[in-house]
A = this chain, B = another copy of it.
Amino acid sequence: MLSIGDLSKRTGVKVPTIRYYEQMGLIEAAERSEGNQRRYERHDLERLAFIRHARDLGLDIPAIRELIALSQHPDLPCVNADRIAADHLIAVREKIEKLKKLEHELERIISHCDGHSIEDCYVIRALSDHGLCEGEH
């Protein structure tokens, strides 16, 4: 039986976050000690590692909730789990594209600035005047 602190150390998930996940219904309400403290078992450790891993991949809580529900029906086809992952991959790629555009624009703005006075600062001027931008954003 693990305390919430033990569970936290083993999974790298902070104590308040574990309680938050319980509140959100991602992990079942733990058994309690006589003094009302949460007590966990291996089962909970695995569940929490699963959640942690999914969060690290950037999945949001509703998606994780769905994956957990799916994982409890081993006989079903896994198209839904695949779809969650594939949708997320698309979202990740879109974010990358947006950030790359920002990267280029920032590089361009910075490289154009001669670093003298605010009056001539390309950073400030570029922000003031959208016409100085390269692409649309």
Contacts and interface: CB of A to CB of B under 8 A. Distances in A.
Interface size class of A (residues with CB under 8 A): 35 or more
A18 interface: no
A23 interface: no
A77 B110 contact: no
B81 A118 contact: yes
B50 A128 contact: yes
Assembly of this chain: how many copies?
2
A53 interface: yes
Interface of A: 46, 49-50, 53-54, 56-58, 67, 70-71, 73-79, 81-82, 84-86, 88-89, 92-93, 95-96, 99-100, 102-103, 105-107, 109-110, 113, 115-121, 123-124, 126-128, 130, 133, 137
17 contacts: A49-B130, A50-B128, A53-B133, A56-B137, A57-B102, A57-B106, A70-B118, A75-B119, A76-B117, A81-B124, A82-B115, A85-B109, A88-B106, A92-B103, A96-B96, A96-B103, A99-B99
